[in-house]
Structure 1
Amino acid sequence: MKYRCILSVLLFSTFLLEAQNVYQKIKLSKAINTRQNEYHPVPNKDGSLLYFVGMDRTSQFGTKIDFTKTRNYGGEDIWVSERINGIYTDAIPLKDLNDNNHQAVTAFYNNSLLVYGIYEEAYKVDASGTGAGLYNGDIFFYHLDNKQLEHLGQPVNDIFFESDAFISDDGQVLLFVTDKEPIEGGYHQKAWAYNESFWGNTDIWLSEKIDDYWSQPINLGVSINTAFSERTPCLSEDKQRLYFSSNGHGGYGEHDVFMSKRLDDNSWTSWSTPINMGSGINGEFNDWGFKLYDNELKAVLASESKLPYKVNSQLSGNGGVREHNLRNGYRVEGKQSGSFDYNCRTDIYYVDMVNSSPVLVIEDMLFDFDKYSIRAENYHLIDRLVEIIKDNKQYSKISIIGHTDNVGTQNYNLELSKKRAKSIYNMLLKKGVNSENLKFDGKGESFPLFDNNWDNNRHKNRRVEIIFN
C-alpha cells in the first residue's frame, strides 16, 4: 500500500489537496514513548492528562509484571500521564481497566473514557474458523469516577469489530469505525491480511443520541470512506470539521491524517474532498489517532518511524505465532497468514495548531514567585525536556523565550524573563544539549497570552516558551 500511495502522489499530485497551514509535530519524551509501541493518544479537554495505549510496556517505570504470578496486563493496555508545569510525567497503567486481553482508549468525554476491547460483555463472533464463539472488539464507556465499565450495546456494537470511537463535545454524536458493510470494496475483516495491513476495509460510521438511546448508525459516505481503511475520527467542537486517517486517499505513506469539512448542517454524509494535513504530520508509514485539545489550539497523534534494524515478522494460520523482538511469541488466533517486514515503531507526537514553528510552554510553577532559579523538585522535568530536544533532531535551532505578567516595572520584568530563560538554557547545557542549537532571550510583559486583569491570567502569562525551528 505504501508504494501505491507514493505512486498516486507522483502521478496525480494535482488531485492531492493539502492543508494551507504548515503543521509540524514534536515527539514526546520517554515519559510517554519507550522502546515499545505507544499510540491512540487521548488528552482531556485542556491536555493536563494524556491517556494512551502502550504495547507490552511491562518493564517501564517500576511496573514490571511477573506473568507467572499475575494476569493483570495483556499486550495492549491503557496508560495515563499527568502534565506538570507543561511537561508530561512518567505514565502509569490504569490497573482497574487493564486485563490479560487487549484494551485501547480512543476518546475522553465528561470524566469518562471511550474504550474498545475484548471483555466478557462484548458480543461473540465465530472469528477463529473453528466454530468456537470468540469475543470480538466492542466499544465501552469507562467511568473514571466509579470505575465502572458500560457496554454501549446495540445498535452501535454487534458481531463485527467496532473501534476508534469518538464523541462530540455535547455528547450527542458518536463516531466509530467498523468492518461491517463497507461502502466500497467489499467485506475484508479487521485483523485479516488485506492491502498489506491488518486493518481490513474499515469505514467510519455515525450514531446520534436520541433521548437515552443511540440511533441506528449511518455510513459517512464515499467522500470519506474508500475501499481501504479509514480510522480514528475526530470531530471539531462546532461539528464542521472531521479529522481522520486513511490509506485509501493517497498521500505520503500508508495511513495519512486528513481533514474534511461538513457541507450541509442537516446531513452527515455530505463532506468536502479530504485535505491531506501535510508532510509535517504525515510520513512514510502510518500516522493516525489525531486528537484536538485545549480549545483546538493543540493536537496529538501517533506516528510510525523506521527502526534502526530490520525485524522479520511471520504470521501463520490457525493459531500461528507472530515473532519479532518487540513482541516475543505473540499468538494470533484464526486464519490469518502472511509475511511482513516489521521495521517500524509507533510513538506519540504533539502538534502546535497555531504556530508553524512548534512551541512548548513551560509554566511558571517551575520557579518560585519573583525568582529565576529552577526548583530542585522540578529538575526531572528538565530531564524530560532534554529528551524531547534530543529526540527531535529535525529541529536544528531551539529558542528559549521568557515571559512575565505586568506586576512590577517593565525593565524589572524584562530582566526577570531573561534570567529565567537563561536558567533553563544553562540547565540544558549541563544535560548535554549542544550550545550551537540553543539561544535564549526574554520579552518581559510585552507578549501576554491573556489580559493581565486577574490572578489566573497573570499566572498563565508567566511562562517560558521553547520554540522549535
Structure 2
Amino acid sequence: MVKMRYIIFTILLFSLHSTVLGQELIFSEPKKMESTINSTSEEVSPLLSRDGNTLYFVRTFYEGNIGGELGAQDIWYSQRDQSGVWDTAVSLNQLNNQYNNIILGVGNNDSSIYVQNTYSNPLRWDYGISVSEKKNGKWQPPLELNLKFKRIGSFQGYFVPSNKDVIIESSNKNDSYGNEDLYIYRLEGNKWLGPIHLDTIINTPEGEISPFLCDDYETLFFSSDGHDGYGSFDLFMTKRLDSTWLNWSVPVNLGPVINSTAFDAYFSTYPSGESFYVSSKKEKYADIYSTTLSYEEIPIVTDTIVEDSTAYDTLIVDTLLVEIPIDTIKTEPVEVVEKEDRLPFTIQILAMPRGKKPNKIFFDHLDISHVEKSEGKDHLDRYYIGEFQTLVEALRGMDTLRKVGYSDSFVRKVEKYSTL
C-alpha cells in the first residue's frame, strides 16, 4: 500500500522554551469510491455507522431522488458485505421527503441517526436537528431536538457525535466573521449551552463548513476557504487545548495528499483509521473518496545548543548560495523583535552560548543577509531566518531547510524571543 505523509504541528509555549510538539498524519493513497456509491451526480456528507458496515451519504442532482434531478437532497446508504465490498447504494426512503434531507450524525449502537430538521412545520425549522430512532429494523419519524438555532442567511450545517452531548454548527450569525463560522453547543444536564463561537483561530472572513469531531472530543476536522490552501475549500485539522472549548490550536492544512485545487470537504475518520472525504477534483460534481489515517508521534524539539558549529561542515546540498561574511548577520534587540510589523512566525536554525560565534561554513547554504540573531537573557544567541504569516507557511520553510541539512531547525513564534 502506498502511504503519503504530511506533518502537522501544534505550538506549545512554555516559560523558557517554545516547544514544537507534533504528530505525523499518515494517509494511505486516497481512492475514489466505487460506482456503487458514486454516481454521475453529486455525493457529499459521508458518515460511517458505528459497526463500520453502513456508509450514509447525501446525494444531489440525482434523478433517483424523490424530487428528481432538480429536486432537493436525499439520504442514501450502502452496506458492506462480508468480503468488504460496498453494495449498490439505496435511498433511505423512510427519512426522505420533498425537502433537503441531510444526515448529521450516527448514535451509539447505530440505534439512532441525526438529520437536518425538514420534518416539522417549516415555521419550526429553526429547531434545526431531528433524531430518528430505529425500532424493529425501521427508522421512525424524526423528532425535533429541543434546541433552537438562530442564524442569518439560508445556509446551516451541523455535526452530532455519537455521544450526542455536543453539537457543532456551521452558520452565519450576527457575530460571525465571515460567510459561515463554526460554533459549539454542549449539553449540561437537560440544557444546551451555547453557541460558543470558535473565534479567529478557526473562523475567518470567508467560510468554515463541514465540521467533524473525532471520538476523542479533541480533534476537529473542517473545511475552509479562508485559511491558506491549495484551491477553493480545503480540509484542516485543529486540536482542543483545554476543557473550556474556547482554545484551539492553529488549524493545519491536511496537505496535497488530501486537498486539491478544487472543492474538498466533509472529512470523517474513525477509530480503525478508515476515513472518508469529498472532493470535486476537476469534475463537475463532488464524489466520495476513502483513505486510511494513522498517527505517529514526533519527538519534542527544543533549542539545540551547539558548542562548535564546525559539526555542520558536512552539509550536502544541490545548490550553494553566494557566501556573505558572517559579520553581516543582524543582531535584533528584543524591542525590535517585538515590533508590530513583524510577521508572527520564524524558523530558528541554531542556538549557541554567548560569546561563541558559529563557523561561517554553517551559513553557506543560506542567504545570510536574511539571518537574524536574538541575544537571550539566558546567555544564548539564537539564529533565525524568515518571516511567515501562517504556521503552514513556516512549516513548509522549515521542511525546505531540513532537506538541505539544517536538521535542527524548527518553527518558533517571533514574540517568544522577548521572554528568552
Please state which band the TM-score falls in when normalised by the shorter chain: 0.5 to 0.7
Q: How many residues are matched? A: 269
Question: 1:354 Cα shift?
Answer: 3.0
Distance 1:219 1:237, change over 3 A: same
Structure 1 residue 147 displacement after superposition: 1.2
Deviation at 1:159, TM superposition (A): 6.9
Task: Work out whether residues 167 and 174 of structure 1, in 8 Å CA contact, stay in contact via their aligned partners in 2.
Answer: yes
CA-atom RMSD in angstroms:
2.9
* SS of residue in 2 equivalent to 1:222: helix
1:368-418 Cα deviation digits (max 9, x unpaired): xxxxxxxxxxxxxxxxxxxxxxxxxxxxxxxxxxxxxxxxxxxxxxxxxxx
The answer to whether the aligner puts 1:304 opposite 2:280 as a matched pair is: yes
Q: Which of structure 1's runs of 4+ aligned residues deviate more than 6 A?
A: none
What is the 5 A alignment of 1:88-167? 88-110=86-108, 111-123=111-123, 138-145=128-135, 146-156=139-149, 161=154, 163-167=156-160
- Is contact 2:230–2:260 with CA below 8 Å preserved after alignment? yes
- In structure 2, how many angstroms separate the alpha carbons of the residues matched to 1:346 and 1:94? 20
CA deviations on 1:147-167 (whole Å, 9 max, x unpaired) are 121222434366765643222
Structure 1 residue 243: Cα displacement: 0.8
Instruction: Give the residue type in structure 1 aligned to 2:218.
Output: Q
Alpha-carbon spacing, 1:292–1:50, altered in 2? closer, same or farther (3 Å): same
Larger radius of gyration, structure 1 or 2? 2
Q: Does structure 1 retain, via aligned residues, the 8 Å contact 2:151–2:171?
A: no
Q: Which of 220, 243, 246 matches 1:269?
A: 246
What is the TM-score of this pair, normalised by structure 1? 0.53
Distance 1:96 1:179 in 2: 30
Deviations 1:130-183 (A, max 9, x none): xxxxx6792222223351212224343667656432223432211121211243
How far residue 355 of structure 1 moved from its aligned partner, in angstroms, is 9.4
Q: Distance between the aligned counterparts of 1:44 and 1:156, measured in 2? A: 26
Q: Kindly tell me: are residues 158 and 242 of structure 1, through their superposed partners in 2, closer, same or farther at Cα, counting changes over 3 Å? A: same
Corresponding residue number in structure 1 for 2:256: 279
Select 2:210's aligned residue among 217, 232, 252.
Answer: 232
Cα separation, 2, equivalents of 1:303 and 1:235: 19
Which residue does the alignment assign to 1:319? Answer: none
Correspondence 1:344-363 to 2 at 5 A: 344-354=284-294
Counterpart of 1:205 (choices 152, 163, 183) is: 183
Distance (whole Å) between structure 2 residues aligned to residue 236 and residue 346 of structure 1 = 23
Cα distance in 1, alignment partners of residues 164 and 105 from structure 2:
12
Equivalences for 1:385-464 in 2 at 5 Å? none
* Alignment partner of 1:21 is 2:25: yes
**Displacement, 1:302?**
1.0
Give 2:369's aligned residue: none
CA distance in 1, matches of 2:166, 2:234: 24
Partner of 2:76: 79
Percent sequence identity over matched residues?
29
Is the Cα–Cα contact under 8 Å of residues 127 and 145 in structure 2 kept in the other structure? no
**Aligned position for 2:199:** 221
Q: What is aligned with 1:57?
A: 62
Partner Cα distance (1:260, 1:305) in 2: 24
Task: Find the aligned partners of 1:262 and 1:163 in 2 and give their Cα distance.
Answer: 23
**1:410 equivalent in structure 2:** none
Amino acid at match of 2:63: T
Q: Indicate the residue corresponding to 1:40 in structure 2.
A: 45
User: In the alignment, what sits opposite 2:225?
Assistant: 247
> Residues 20 and 353 from structure 1, CA distance in 2 versus in 1: closer, same or farther, beyond 3 angstroms?
same
Unmatched runs of 5 consecutive residues or more in structure 1:
1-17, 125-134, 186-200, 308-343, 357-469
2:123 and 2:191 map into 1 onto residues whose CA distance is 18
Partner amino acid for 1:350?
A: S
Q: How does 1:165-204 map to 2 (within 5 A)?
A: 165-185=158-178, 201-204=179-182
